Structure 1
Amino acid sequence: MTDDLKYPIGKFVPEPFSHEQKEKWLLELKFLPDDVEHAILNLDAPQLDTPYREGGWTVRQLVHHIADSHMNAYIRFRLGLTENNPNIKPYEEQEWAKLNDTAIVPVNVSTTLLHCLHQRWFACIKDLTEDQWERTVHHPALNKNISLWELLGMYAWHGKHHVKHITALRERKGW
């Protein structure tokens, strides 16, 4: 953990494949919806509309962003498992966070979505072989091939990263 408000758990660092790391990351994905729900438990509307840092997204936007991002991740995994190094679609996260639904849809809609999505996602990838973890997708904005193994790590990190944004804000504010 760090004192950095933008990267409170540090930046993602890829790790070589290991069965122990795989189990850790899979469990982090599996239980992320519970972690998000716990992080926002009993927050009221003004608290949900508080940015986690100056210039950062609100808690409400963070919760909807996690759902948006992980929906994209689930599709990226399915493409990577069924196509040969497919191009994945980047999206404008900052612009998505400004769309009307992120302001008016209750956060429990996105937490419910996360529970359903992560159940499917976990079931899809929990028994992949080492060869399947080596399959790749191509990220055209980065002009880089990314293995499903690296994607697993990135999204396990991503969930923890944003949950920490929320819990660190709560700690600073005494909520």
Structure 2
Amino acid sequence: MIKKLIRYFIVFQIIFYSISCAEIINIDKIPNLGDDIKIPELPTEDLNEVDNQGNIIGRRTLEKNTTVYLESKVKVFVPLEIISDIDIEALIIDDQKLKIPFDIELNKTPEKQDYYRLHYSEKEIDIDLDGQIDTYIYSSPFINTRILKDNILYIDGEKISKEGTFRRKIYMTIEIRE
């Protein structure tokens, strides 16, 4: 019962608000919309209702005629996103040290300079899980271009003590400088 009352109250409020907003708009204040948009004309006289044989069965009396013009503006915000996946495969022999450059592509150029930062889930990595950090990720401190080219993956073969194939997923996110 209470839910029905609440529903009726909400419907009543919506109808009341719609009617009061429609009365505020004056027809003389409608801006020129140009040739592209046509506002349909409203009826100006009463309407006779007829049945299938053409007999008049009633008359609808026009009480009020109102034109409502609505204008909407939408601001679309597309967030800065990383759109590239990076797969790096490297073969390390003995104590070899590798510097592997890589690029990161974003969906657009940032609006503000020196405002966005690239954050890695890990920058110093122990790839073989022996307790020594052997892999490092270096990037520029701020994101200022659509394609980031100053990124380097540095692998120090001296600190890798185990043989094998090692895989690691590193996640990148974009942070705001604050």
Q: Specify the TM-score bucket, using the shorter chain as the normaliser.
A: under 0.3
* Greater strand content: 2
- Between the two structures, name the one with larger relative contact order (CA 8 Å, sep ≥ 6): 1
TM-score relative to the length of structure 2: 0.24
